[in-house]
């Protein structure tokens, strides 16, 4: 049924019904900070009681969309989305005045989406949709050295706990973007993002490199710098192994010499 047909049906019902109402709510998106509790406002106009009505909250971006249902003076949990269980509720003491707002506790990344507040009486219904945006500031980037790679030194940058999905950028000491590999993106069951990205760098005059994580929608940015000593670019794994073996050999020779010296002293005595 088209939106125009729906309006005509409501108008037709209204002509033969004394119980008509509007469902209203905020027109601007609700921005929620992950971990906080939020309220999705929804109310009837006029402020008639919703105690004898069916109140449905639906997440339109999920296939199994039921977030919360109130019907026949009780809460219905049969087809509720599992991860909303225990985190969603109505203000039941406010239903008599037409307040059908939904409370969500411990907001997580998967809570982002379009929510429909649908109210039905025996002879009338109406609904309202509100957008929820979730903001989560993740960890400062962690940079590690992966070792020699073809073309230079391999570095890895990792960050986690973000929402929406952040962007990783590698920069040199002058702020010029470095060509890096594709980001590896993982999303947790709560909807938070973990991102890591590899880059191969060559020796520069400063050998200072920066990994920046940024999320433009929530206007957040963090950076981590790393300085590489020049020697690391010329110390190949084989050369390093040779140096270690030489050191171990020298220690062994010194130890053997001391042992022989001590034995000779004992025989002399």
8 Å CB contact between 54 and 157: no
* pLDDT surpassing 50 at residue 9: no
pLDDT digits (tens, 9 = 90+) for 218-242: 999 999 999 999 888 876 555 544 4
Given the DSSP bridges, would you call strands 167-171 and 208-215 parallel, antiparallel or unpaired? antiparallel
The mean per-residue pLDDT over the stretch 91-119 comes to: 97
Answer yes or no: are the C-beta atoms of 212 and 221 closer than 8 Å: yes
- Ordered structural domains, the chain, with CATH: 3-134 (2.60.40.10), 142-234 (2.60.40.10)
- Torsions phi, psi for 126 (to 5 deg): -160, 165
- pLDDT tops 70 at residue 256: no
pTM, 2 dp: 0.76
Q: pLDDT, tens digit, for every residue of 120-155? A: 999 999 999 999 999 999 999 999 999 999 889 999
Give the separation between CA 261 and CA 251, rounded to whole angstroms.
Answer: 15
């Amino acid at each position: 049924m088209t939106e125009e047909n729906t309006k005509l049906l409501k108008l037709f019902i209204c002509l033969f019904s004394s119980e008509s109402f509007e469902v209203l709510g905020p027109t601007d998106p609700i921005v929620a900070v992950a971990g906080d509790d939020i309220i999705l406002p929804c109310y009837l106009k006029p402020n008639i009681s919703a105690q004898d009505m069916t109140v449905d909250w639906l997440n339109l971006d999920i296939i199994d969309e039921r977030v919360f249902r109130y019907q026949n003076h009780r809460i219905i949990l049969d087809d509720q989305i599992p991860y909303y269980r225990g985190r969603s509720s109505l203000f039941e003491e406010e239903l008599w005045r037409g307040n059908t707002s939904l409370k969500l506790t411990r907001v997580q990344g998967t809570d982002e989406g379009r929510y429909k507040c649908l109210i039905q009486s025996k002879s009338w219904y109406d609904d309202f949709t509100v957008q929820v945006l979730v903001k989560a500031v993740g960890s400062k980037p962690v940079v590690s050295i992966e070792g020699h790679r073809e073309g230079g030194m391999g570095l890895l940058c990792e960050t986690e706990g973000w929402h929406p999905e952040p962007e990783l950028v590698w920069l040199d000491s002058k702020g010029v973007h470095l060509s890096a590999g594709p980001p590896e993106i993982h999303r947790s069951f709560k909807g938070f993002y973990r991102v890591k990205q590899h880059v191969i760098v060559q020796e520069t005059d400063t050998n200072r490199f920066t990994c920046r994580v940024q999320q433009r929608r929530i206007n957040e940015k963090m950076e981590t710098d790393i300085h590489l000593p020049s020697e690391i670019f010329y110390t190949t794994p084989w050369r390093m192994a040779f140096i270690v073996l030489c050191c171990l050999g020298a220690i062994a020779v010194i130890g053997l010499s001391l042992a022989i010296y001590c034995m000779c002293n004992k025989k002399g005595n």
